[in-house]
Structure 1
Amino acid sequence: MPGVMQMESFYVSHTVFCTDAQAVAAVLAGRNAFVTPAHKGSVVVLDEASERQEPEVILELGARLSSELQAPVLAVLNHDDDILMYALCEQGWVVDQYNSSPELFEPDQDAEPIGPQGGNAQRLAEAFGSREVEAIEAILRRPATDEGYIFAYERHFDLVKALGISEFGVNTGFQYLKAGEIPAGLDAAQLIPVGTATPGA
């Protein structure tokens, strides 16, 4: 499993299906962010503002990246390693959304688990050129339980593996990189800092 092991992880990443990291960085002008080098046909953005986990901020950036770069974007939010949410953005639009544990944000704390909601495996696979539709569907539907995914980052890792895109956005985020917690296989010197972003030692 790549990346630094984080218990109770909180992170947001945007994975862009393109290989021009400098072009991705240019779109982020005026923000504080880290951009990874191209890996497995994709570039990962770790954006400081998105780490507040405000959906409108995350979706706006995903839509903007997909529009200006003319490339699909997978925006992923991990909340406390209990919930994995994603949005697929294409041509400036949010075209698919998913929530692994929607009941955890319900006012009724005793609400029965309803299981993962949303997520179109076929559309997701087509966006990133994957043929693993059945595997992606199984990953999306597997419950967030001791018999399924105990930690949300595990689902995220399996999902990017099935899609064939970079795992540099799994179990990491802007704050982790700033603190010097660099995913396995990625050298801090390879990161493109945008704005005041500086990776830790």
Structure 2
Amino acid sequence: MGLFLSMSGVVGGTEDSVIDALRTYAECNGGSLEDKQLTTEEDGCLVISKGIGGVTVLYPGDFFDWETVSQFLSERLAKAVFSFHIHDGDLWMYSLYEDGEVVDQFNPVPDYWQELEGEERDSWRGNPTAVAQRVPGLAPEEISRYLVRWDDEALKSPLRKKAYPTDKFAYGEDWQLVDFMGKLGLDYPVDDRGMPHGLTYLFKCESEETS
């Protein structure tokens, strides 16, 4: 089984406001958010870290409602909020929320789950201008090369191409998400040893998947 990862990226958010909003969400869904020293290997570990462009929330591996929480945070905090996901190590994707509505979304393999057609397929193309309008100081051309479909060459070629020369990861790699987040000023809150370098919390929340 490949990597599964879910995060929210709150553009221009503060740690205190994000923590308060997450606690409210958890309590409204029969759960809690408790300050506790944890590792990402432990159940319920939620990590929060601050970057130059906002706050990143890394959810526990068994939490499935990252889209719902990202939507909630965008309404509660009146901020643009990314919902980031790596699925089974095969791809990375995002939805961008503003005032509770999706204003942009991207998936490099839009037919991954089922074949899509027309407007639905095009809706996953990603819009660098829409993103740049909501991330202060960002130009569309700084991220546009990430927002491309992964064709067979990108997925199967031993010579992987990178979107930008300074990137660590190439097309076809799930971790390209971290390069993309870096351009947004959002931190990935786990170091190369797998240890969290932000604030850790015990996050308990009834998931829609199990309710």
Q: What TM-score results when the alignment is normalised by the length of structure 1?
A: 0.70
Q: Show the counterpart of 1:90.
A: 98
- Residue equivalent to 1:120: 127
- Aligned residue for 2:39? none
Q: Which runs of structure 2 are paired with 1:153-168 in the superposition (5 Å)?
A: 153-154=175-176, 156-168=177-189
Provide the C-alpha distance between the structure 2 equivalents of 1:170 and 1:123, rounded to a whole number of angstroms: 30
Contact 2:90 2:174 in 1 (8 A): yes
Q: Aligned equivalents of 2:61 and 2:51: distance in 1?
A: 24
Give 1:168's aligned amino acid: P
Once superposed, which parts of structure 1, at least 4 consecutive aligned residues long, lie more than 4 Å away? none
Taking structure 1 as reference, are residues 51 and 100 closer, same or farther at Cα in structure 2, changes over 3 Å only?
farther
Query: Using a 3 Å threshold, how does the CA distance of structure 1 residues 33 and 20 change in structure 2: closer, same or farther?
Result: farther
Structure 2: runs of 5+ lacking an equivalent: 32-43, 116-120, 162-170, 206-211
Mapped to 2, the partners of 1:105 and 1:76 lie a distance apart of 17
**SS in structure 2 at match of 1:124:** helix
Give the Å deviation of 1:33: 5.7
> For residues 117 and 71 of structure 1, do their structure 2 counterparts lie closer, same or farther at Cα, with a shift above 3 Å needed?
closer
Residue number in structure 2 paired with 1:43: 55
Q: Deviations over 1:122-169 (max 9, x none)?
A: 011121124331231111116242344231112x12211222322337
Determine which structure has the larger helix proportion and give its number: 1
Partners of 2:109 and 2:149 within 8 A in 1: no
Q: Once the two structures are superposed, what CA deviation does each residue of 1:63-112 show, in whole Å capped at 9, x if it has no partner?
A: 110111111111111101212120001112111111111222127xxxxx
Residues 100 and 116 (structure 1), Cα distance of their counterparts in 2 relative to 1, 3 Å cut:
farther
Q: Does 1:66 align with 2:74?
A: yes
Q: Deviations over 1:18-56 (max 9, x none)?
A: 34212211111225562423221311112338743xxxx
Correspondence for 1:152 = 174
Aligned residue pairs total 168
**Aligned pair in 2 of structure 1 residues 157, 141: CA closer, same or farther (>3 Å)?**
same
Greater C-alpha Rg? 2
- Looking at structure 2, the residues matched to 117 and 104 of structure 1 have their Cα atoms a distance apart, in angstroms, of 12
Indicate the SS of the match to 1:45. strand
Give the unaligned 5+ runs of structure 1: 1-6, 108-113, 172-179
Greater CA drift, 119-128 or 25-34: 25-34
What TM-score comes out, normalization by structure 2 length? 0.67
